[in-house]
Amino acid sequence: MAKRKTKFVCQECGYESVKFMGKCPACQQWNTLVEEVEASAVKGRAGYTSDTASSQKPEQITAIETKEEPRMTTRMREFNRVLGGGVVLGSLVLIGGDPGIGKSTLLLQISAQLAEKELPVLYVSGEESTRQTKLRADRLDIKTDALYVLSETKLLDISKQIEEINPSFVVVDSIQTIFKEEVTSAPGSVSQVRECTMELMRIAKTKGIPIFIVGHVTKEGSIAGPRLLEHMVDAVLYFEGERHHTYRILRGVKNRFGSTNEMGIFEMKEEGLREVMNPSEIFLEERSQGAAGSTVVASMEGTRPVLVEIQALISPTSFGNPRRTATGVDHNRVPLLMAVLEKRVGMMLQNQDAYIKVAGGVKLDEPAIDLALAVSIASSFRDHSTKPDDIFIGEVGLTGEIRRVSRIEQRVQESVKLGFKRVICPKNNLDGWNYPEGIEVIGVSNVQEALEIGLRQ
């Protein structure tokens, strides 16, 4: 009898070793190597044989006919926007998020909306029974005969049901619970996740069925399993938000069929997720009038401008090293802007604690928010409020200059819609376009000039 061969596989990055090691040399994580049995050499890797090899031949790129990829649209325009206009046929999409954030609720609502168009939809749940899924469907008021629910974890049986039903849309919740019998490791391991995803990708590409798979996340917030998983799929979506707040953000971090800068905002209700069509009003509805340290910035999220309030609290420190805390913005950007204010404006901030927060739980990462951050810090330090109808847009350089930003027209148009009266922006952005009526656009060239205008009563 042939000796059974084993190997040790890192459950974080997929690194393989012939012997056990306490620390993975690839990802530097401790106690992540797990012993697994190697696949039989006769069957090949995970049961694949040479018969499964592709018979396609290479074609000249100039001879390939191209056409617009057809898309399936849902009633959730925010969901369609994040995907680039709808669900592409034959695509494999991975969606991740914290436990209880609403991933299953979102996908069940999307499945029901597509099923109402008389398109057969298969919802596979490896974590819940069919009765438990029906309880959620009753809460969401889902009543359609075209939605099929399957509680199964064996990939072979799932493939057979896809063959029989021939659905137009498939959801697998979640990939960490699905297993392939040819792979000897436990469900959720690196080998199982990789091989099951590869099989689902084959089904999606050969049959033209869009498949959405749910992925668990680690305590660091990244999707569990090998990084290869995100490279294999066509799109990666993250469902973000605080569990104790009602607003959820769907953000695309990879999309082969659209932009990765789009963001969809939803509100969690008792009857399910409801899309928020005008997020700027939501983020500004509880803003305090006349409070020092509060500014508003027009940030671009994909093709849509979003107006968000930035709050700063500057107070004398009680310790040797002042604290720098930031929520919703890059932590390293706060000390950088404080150094610019101290060097170029003359503010003594080295003995001050700084607390920065973006209201509403949204995360901003574009350079155009620098000016609003700097003005809010200066406003709190001087205890001098800004005008409630001012918008601040611009990137701040290390020499204190205000640099040009992109899509200034869309940002100003959104400011006009919400009733703001002044926009303080880079001077280099003033040429080449017509200002809308009802708003004053002021160009500034450095931080000192912006503070003189923004903090003037």
* 98 marked as part of a ligand binding site: yes
* 103 marked as part of a ligand binding site: yes
Integer Cα distance of 440 and 430 in angstroms? 11
Q: What is the secondary structure of 388-403 as a DSSP string?
A: TTEEE--EE-TTSBEE
Q: Indicate the burial class of 355 (C-beta count within 10 angstroms; 0-12, 13-18, 19 or more).
A: middle
* 104 marked as part of a ligand binding site: yes
Q: Please, which residues bridge with residue 84 across strands?
A: none
* 299 marked as part of a ligand binding site: no
Token pair 């034959």: residue: 90
* 97 marked as part of a ligand binding site: yes
Residue (of 191, 164, 169) closest to 179 by Cα position: 191
Integer Cα distance of 88 and 233 in angstroms? 13
* 102 marked as part of a ligand binding site: yes
CB contact at 8 A, 283 and 309: yes
For residues 270, 276, 279, 283, the Cα torsion angle rounded to the nearest 10 degrees is -10
CB contact at 8 A, 33 and 24: yes
| Ramachandran angles phi, psi of 336, nearest 5° | -65, -50
Q: Please, which residues bridge with residue 165 across strands?
A: none
How far is residue 421 from each of residues 250, 391, 414, 418, 437, measured CA to CA in Å?
A: 31, 8, 12, 9, 10
283: its two tokens: 């983020």
Reduced to 3 states (helix: H, G, I; strand: E, B; else coil), residue 394 is coil
| Residues placed in the known binding site | 97-104
| Residues placed in the known binding site for ATP | 97-104
